[in-house]
Every structure is written in structure tokens, then in C-alpha cells.
Amino acid sequence: MPSDQSLVSRTATEIVDLLTLGAITPLECLEALETRIANVDPRVNALPTLAFEQARAHAKALTEKPVKERGRLAGLPVAIKDLNDVAGVRTTYGSPIFKNHVPTKNDIMVDTIEHEGGVIYAKTNTPEFGAGANTFNEVFGRTLNPWNTKLSAAGSSGGSAVALKTGMAWLAHGSDMGGSLRTPAGFCGVVGMRPSPGRVAHNPSNMVDSLLFIEGPMARNVEDLALFLDAMTGESPRDPISLPRTSQRYLAAARSGPKPVRVAYSKDLGITPIDPEIAEICEKAALRFRDAGVHVEEAHPDVSDAHECFGILRAAAFAAMHADNLKNHRDLLKPEIVWNIEKGLELTMADIVKAEIQRAKMLKSANDFFETYDLLLVPTAIVPPYPVEQRYIEECNGHKFNNYIEWLGIVYAITLTTCPALSLPCGFTKAGLPVGLQVVARPRGEAQVLAGAKILETILNLDLKPIDPR
């Protein structure tokens, strides 16, 4: 029986409603996705590992339960980034070192999603160990931007962003340290959210209490993303910084949360060059908040130490997580990772102390800032999508960057404040490429982010349906 391809264009919230009513089954959803992937993925390479046999077994088990016991996702298929373990499914972390690795246990986050009725059917492509904002690796190759397959989808959650935009996923997981979730969302025209640290429990790395690396939801629109965040949240004793679920559901916040009163916009946070066309598109979108009676003015917190601070803390994290890989498999690591690990191993205690003091200063500045403003709006990326063969952005507006991550300052500065941030599609360049705008609120202010983003999404009224690769 042919699959119902009309399902792939429906929103995740619509699919969950249909599943809950019994109008469709999880197996029908899987059939629709399997057909869509066969037709589309060879052109973009977003989902290199499929697990439909395992997914069908899980889906059948779910259908044997009463509807009220199937969780918030009710059997909706979900794609997981290839940095997180899914038991019985090949998980490579984008590295030749682990090209044949099949874990026996789920990541904490995967357990949470499955408990809420999410059915895992695929792993999404990522750069090696999530390093670098361009999704390519030596195991699976490059993931291509569906708006123009000669261009980068960004990274490191590029496979998730592309799967969403091409109708190969209703919901996809991403992760974010220095924009790894937000930048591909911006490049591909989908919605991606970096929640506050601890909001989504996951397996701790060798840096058990790190505030830099988080897991988060990606979707095609704000309500779908809120639905997914509801299913991802919750504390776990295995993750010592994880937070309990809030009493309010995030989907309800997106649909009827409070309207912001005072919003700030910054084109560059005072720390980075930006392509003039990107700045113009983002400012125009930010000012549309005035259509809802919201006061908008130009301002931003002090994040002037972001480049130095993030460079130090990221290097320390890479050294902690990958020093053994450098020692035992140096020849299999890409040069950017080698550089990052070696930089971390060379750090002194004085370096670490300086970075922690800088981070504390930026956190205080952000908290003080949000005493005045409800939201901060900032471009997601400083450039439009670039040629996929280019490993990273080396220059913008005549400014040459010092390393492969510095062009991401506009996203990693927000990381350092621990503020939740959502990338929202806000317009298109003259070349027809999507542009993202970050919507940021005070730490643990996910509900405020979602409510504000939904209002702006409605005002902008962009077509957020999936597309065929171009």
C-alpha cells in the first residue's frame, strides 16, 4: 500500500492530534517518512543512518497501549543527532574512530523522548564530534543545504535542520555549544532552540557540570518546537545539573504566553562584523514587533569578553572530552579538533580563572539587562549560507577571523550568558536564502522566548512548509 505523502507537510502538532484521535497510526507515519527519505535524502545526505525496523517494533508496542499512556508525542517519529547514543543503532559521532560503534544503552535524553512516545527512526549527520559549523565528516560526507545544494547547511546539527526542511522529519534533536543548533536552523529556515543548561537531561561528558553544551529541540515552527521541548525536559539523577519540569507546558506558553512589553535589538552585540544584507533583514524583522504594540529599541548586554572567554572554555572542554582520542587516534582527527584539544592542554590555571571571571561578568550583565527588557533579538548568523566546500568562514566585511569558530561569536556570546535562545526564520536574502533571528530571554526564560517567538512568527507569516532540494 503506498504511503500517504500528504502527511509529511503536516505540522508535528497536527500529526500528534491525528495520532491521539486514532485517525492515523505511528506505522503510517513511518511509512510516509521512509518513502520521503528514499526520494529526497540522496540529494542532501541528512540522514545517513536509518533504523526503521527498530522503529516499527517500538511503534507496534506503543499502539498496544491506551492512547492516554502513549506520552506527549503519542508515537510521533523523531530523528536523533549522531552525537547521542541510541541503543542498537550505529552511532559514530561523525568520527572515523567510531565508524562501527553500536551502543547498547540510550542516552538519558533518548530515554526521555521514548518515554514520551517519540519513535526513533534515524540518526542525523553531524561534523566530527560536533566541531565546526559545517556538517561534513569522513564517515558519511557532506550534508547539503536544501535551498541550494551547493551551499553549507551549517552545523553541527546540519543533518537535523535539513531533514526538517525537506519533510524527512517532523521533529529533530539538536545540540548546541557555540551555535551548533541555532546556526543550521538559521541557514535552513527552520526553528531551533538552545534551552537553559539543565533543562534537557543528557549523559554528562567528562566535564560533568558544564554549562556550555546542551541538547535542544528543532522543528519547522514555534508550536512544534514547544511540543518537542515539553517531551524533552525533566530531571535525571544521572545528570547532576538537570532541572525538574515546570508546571506550565511550553506548548501552552507558545500559544498563549504573555506578550513582551519592551524588546531590544542588536545587529552585532558589539563584538562582530556582519554582512549588511543580513543586518538589514534582521532589523526589519525585529522592528515588526511594533505591529503588536511592543516597544523595540537598540541595546545589548555587555559581552565584550566573549571571544576570549569562549575560546578558553571551549578548548578546556575539548581537552577534557577528547585528550584520549588525540593520544590514541591523532591521525583520524580533523585538524580543527587537533588544534582545539592542543589549545586546551596548553591552558594554565590563570587562563581558566580569567575565563570564569569573564563568564560571571557576562552572566551578571545579562541578568541586569533583562531587568529592563523582556527579550533580546540578534541575528543568528552574520553571513548567509556559504559554499559547502569551504570549511568555515574566514572573513566578513573585511575582518579576518583568528580561527575556525570566531565567526560564530554572535551565537556563542549568548551561550556564555546561559540564556535560552531560539532561532526563528525571519526573511530571505536577494538570492532566496533563509535568514534566522535569535530570540533570547533571561536564564530559564524558555516560556518567554516561545511566547515572543510565536508572536513574531505570526506577524512575519513566512511559509514554513517543507521544500524539495534545489
Q: At 149, is the secondary structure helix, strand, or coil?
A: coil
* Catalytic residue flag (residue 361): no
Q: Which of 152, 157, 175, 180 is catalytic?
A: 180
Q: Which parts of 22-139 fold into alpha helices (H)?
A: 26-40, 52-63, 108-115
Q: C-alpha grid cell for residue 409?
A: 561569536
Which distant-in-sequence residues (6+ apart) come within 8 Å of 289 by Cβ? 260, 263, 296, 377, 455, 456, 459
Decide if 378 contacts 414 (C-beta within 8 A): yes
In one letter, which amino acid is 413? A
Active site residue 156: yes
Contacts of 276 (CB under 8 A, 6+ apart): 397
What gap in Å lies between CA 61 and CA 55, rounded to an integer?
10
Buried b (16+ CB within 10 A) or exposed e, 384-393: bbbebeebbb
**Residue 207, pLDDT score:** 85
Catalytic residue among 95, 156, 196, 210: 156
Helices and strands (DSSP H and E) totals, the chain: 14, 15
Phi, psi of 248 (to 5 degrees): -90, 135
**Among the options 81, 123, 267, 334, which is catalytic?**
81
Residue 423, beta-bridge partner list: 192, 438
Nine-digit cell string for 406: 570566531
Per-residue model confidence (pLDDT) at position 2: 59
The pLDDT, as a whole number, for residue 62 is 96
Q: At what angle do helices 222-232 and 12-21 cross, to 10 degrees?
A: 60
The pair phi, psi for residue 189, each rounded to 5°, is 75, 35
Q: Spell out the residues 6+ positions from residue 237 whose beta carbon is closer than 8 angstroms to its own.
A: none
What pLDDT does residue 205 have?
84
Q: What is the per-residue burial (b if ≥16 Cβ within 10 Å, else e) of 37-72? A: beebbeebbbbbbbbbebbbebbeebeeeeeeebbb
- The CATH classification of domain 5-460, taken from the options 3.90.1300.10, 3.30.70.20, 3.40.640.10, 1.20.140.150: 3.90.1300.10
Alpha carbons 55 and 123: distance in angstroms, whole number: 12
pLDDT score of 82: 98
Quick check: pTM over 0.95?
A: yes
Q: What is the pLDDT of residue 1?
A: 45
- Residue-by-residue pLDDT tens, the chain, 470 positions: 457 899 999 999 999 999 999 999 999 999 999 999 999 999 999 999 999 999 999 999 999 999 999 999 999 999 999 999 999 999 999 999 999 999 999 999 999 999 999 999 999 999 999 999 999 999 999 999 999 999 999 999 999 999 999 999 999 999 999 999 999 999 999 999 999 999 999 999 888 988 999 999 999 999 999 999 999 999 999 999 999 999 999 999 999 989 999 999 999 999 999 999 999 999 999 999 999 999 999 999 999 999 999 999 999 999 999 999 999 999 999 999 999 999 999 999 999 999 999 999 999 999 999 999 999 999 999 999 999 999 999 999 999 999 999 999 999 999 999 999 999 999 999 999 999 999 999 999 999 999 999 999 999 999 999 999 99
How large is the angle between the packed helices 306-329 and 409-417, nearest 10 degrees? 100
160 is catalytic: no
Q: What share of the chain is helix, strand, coil (3-state, %, to 5)?
A: 40, 15, 40
Which residue's C-alpha cell is 558519511?
140
